[in-house]
Amino acid sequence: MELVWEISGWAGAAMILTAFLSVSMGWVKAGRAFQGANLLGAAAFILNGAFHEAWPSVATNAAWLLISAVSLLRLRGARGTEAGAEAPAIHLPGVPDTTGQLAVVDPARAACTAPAGHAAQPGAVAA
């Protein structure tokens, strides 16, 4: 029976880390799939922590589970009645969106471009 609790802990770790990696890399938005994986992972960690009597871990993961459950309920309410629709990502004030793409500027072209309002002179070298 001990093996079941160990598998639960490792499965919970895999779910939470995979969800975090997926959002951090921009593969998925922080929506239902992310919160669902967090909820299931936290539940698995709670089982494992209770078996090992690791109460700080149980308390932390209980809070994690509650946060994920509330987020899922809020996403469900924001979704309306559309079945299978993914709710838009929630953006908090002051927290940057790390899921966007960065603009890549070619340094050679940027140096040759004249500033706005000025005509480029032939043969001029950018400083």
Question: Which sequence spans correspond to the domains of the chain?
Answer: 2-80
DSSP characters for 5-51?
HHHHHHHHHHHHHHHHHHHHTTSS-SSHHHHHHHHHHHHHHHHHHHH
Q: What is the dihedral of CA 7, 11, 14, 18, to 10 degrees?
A: 170
pLDDT band at 16 (very low <50, low <70, confident <90, very high): very high
Nearest C-alpha neighbor of 16 from the set 48, 32, 38: 38
Other C-beta atoms lying within 10 Å of the C-beta of residue 32: 18
Q: Which two tokens stand for residue 35?
A: 């919160």
Tens-place pLDDT, residues 71-81: 999 998 876 54
- What is residue 21's predicted lDDT score, i.e. its pLDDT? 94
Query: Is the overall model pTM greater than 0.85, yes or no?
Result: no
Tens-place pLDDT, residues 81-113: 454 555 566 666 666 666 666 566 676 665 556
Q: Assess whether pLDDT exceeds 90 at residue 115.
A: no
